[in-house]
Amino acid sequence: MASMYRLPRNSICAACYEGAKAIIAFFNDDDDEQGDADQGSVKSRRGLAKLNSTTKGLRDAWEEVKRMRYREEDAKQRASFLQEGFAAAWKDGIHTDIAVRPGTGPPIKAHKAILAARSEVFRHILAGDDDCKAPAGDSLSLPELTHDELSHLLAFLYTGSLATCTEERHLHALLVAGDKYDVPFLRRACEARLAAGVEAGNVLRTLEVAELSSSAALMERAMETVVEHAEKVVFSPEYEEFAVRNAALCVQITRALLANKTFPAKTP
């Protein structure tokens, strides 16, 4: 007799689960009814019809899984094709038409079309709109970025990904740049990377960059870390300098700590 089917830890889809139960039930019914030929024959035909219906559902489910896998693989190949092509055009300097100048270091060649497509701010600057600066011409200056930070920014605009070895300070600069130049995807990528690495040792720096870039998600994660490691953070040498520079953030920290504190009940 087939054993009782139980849902595994790594759950399968509902259709497959129900199908497996139906198959097992069919064989169990067949074993139980072998003593009565006529009645067993009727039940077997019913069970067979049910099994055929179930296996058809399983085949349909499997075909849908294959179609989903194909679509996923196709999307990955198209993304890789576009990413590698743009990155190669930038790294090899193919038909570049603008020099982006950082605050320090040499300029980096790029393509106006890529800059305009990735950032609404760059699009307006390059078009010379009334609300923006004059047309950039053959150069664009981003004085708030170092040469390395600019290189990371352009790499992201061309590939849509952050290098795994990107340093924290560069992530800070990229988050601020994503906010300033309106690149939402860059903002989200930096927020996720920074939020995953928040700890007591860097939470004050994270709070500063979260406020500077208006990142509510990163601010919330940093405040949670401050509350979790309150004594270590508040009594650290860095906190005194932080408090001088960031009075408003200190008020928020105080309120967060008090909100998390349990006060004794008042006696009448």
pLDDT at 66 over 60: yes
153/93: higher pLDDT: 153
**Residue 198 neighbours by CB distance under 10 Å:** 21
pLDDT the model gives residue 127: 86
User: By mean pLDDT, which of 39-43, 86-90, 164-168 is the weakest?
Assistant: 39-43
Please give the order of strands across the beta sheet that includes 139-142: 108-110, 98-102, 139-142
Q: What does the H/E/C string look like for the chain?
A: CCCCCCCCCCCCCHHHHHHHHHHHHHHHHHHHCCCCHHHHHHHHHHHHHHHHHHHHHHHHHHHHHHHHHHHHHHHHHHHHHHHHHHHHHHHCCCCCCEEEEECCCCCEEECHHHHHHHCHHHHHHHHCCCCCCCCCCCEEEECCCCHHHHHHHHHHHHHCCCCCCCCHHHHHHHHHHHHHCCCHHHHHHHHHHHHHCCCCCCHHHHHHHHHHCCCHHHHHHHHHHHHHCHHHHHCCHHHHHHHHHCHHHHHHHHHHHHHHCCCCCCCC
Q: Which residues pair with 99 in a beta bridge?
A: 109, 139
pLDDT at 138 over 90: no
pLDDT tens digit sequence for 75-101: 777 666 666 767 778 888 888 889 999
**87-183 falls under which CATH superfamily?**
Potassium Channel Kv1.1; Chain A (3.30.710.10)
pLDDT the model gives residue 72: 82
pLDDT the model gives residue 263: 42
For the chain, give the percent of residues with pLDDT over 70: 70
Instruction: Give the residue-averaged pLDDT of 257-262.
Output: 80
Q: Which two tokens stand for residue 63?
A: 């075909």
pLDDT the model gives residue 87: 76
pLDDT the model gives residue 106: 95
Q: Rounded distance, CA 134 to CA 124, Å?
A: 10
pLDDT tens digit sequence for 99-123: 999 999 999 999 999 999 999 999 9
pLDDT tens digit sequence for 19-33: 666 666 655 555 554
Q: Which two tokens stand for residue 65?
A: 């899984």
Instruction: Give the residue-averaged pLDDT of 237-257.
Output: 93
> What mean pLDDT, rounded, does the chain reach?
81
Q: CB under 8 Å to 182, separation ≥6 — which residues?
A: 119, 120, 121
Q: Which CATH number fits domain 198-261: 3.40.50.300, 1.25.40.420, 1.10.10.2120, 3.40.50.1100?
A: 1.25.40.420
Is 175:187 a contact under the CB 8 Å cutoff?
Answer: yes
pLDDT at 195 over 80: yes
Residue range(s) of every CATH 1.25.40.420 domain in the chain:
198-261
User: By mean pLDDT, which of 6-10, 61-65, 249-253 is the weakest?
Assistant: 6-10
220/78: higher pLDDT: 220
Residue range(s) of every CATH 3.30.710.10 domain in the chain:
87-183
